Amino acid sequence: MAQADIRAARPLSPHLSVFRPLMTMVMSIVHRITGCGLYFGTLILAWWLLAIAAGPDAFFYASWFFSSWIGVLFLFVYTWILLHHMLGGIRHLYWDTGAGFDRASRNALAWATLIGSISLTIIVWIVGILVR
């Protein structure tokens, strides 16, 4: 069989256009994105820690950034990223036990991850504002 015949006989792999987005698929993609967001956010928080060690001038600029509207927005989004990724990790840990693979459980866990991360982020920020 010629090389061209072999390629023509292979089935094409289904692509995103074939599947409708499922909640578990979306949460898998978001889990990967939040993992990447943790790298960037942790670098920004490390800058803050280094600014504390570097002295008052460096700390002034870091404090200015984190007290600006963009800094507060960054911290809010970073809080959600951290909590969402943590809950997604707990969901995967639960799956590692071999449980929760039926359709209803998968969807319930995906929704619980999303709703839980949003709720926990709001709770953390309310508590943080009240304590401050």
Annotated binding site for heme: 85
List binding-site positions. Answer: 85
Angle between helices 56-67 and 23-54 (to 10 degrees): 150
Q: Which residues, including other chains, have CB under 8 Å from residue 84's CB and lie 6 or more apart?
A: 30, 31, 34, 113, 114, 117
Cβ-based neighbour number of residue 121 at 10 Å: 19
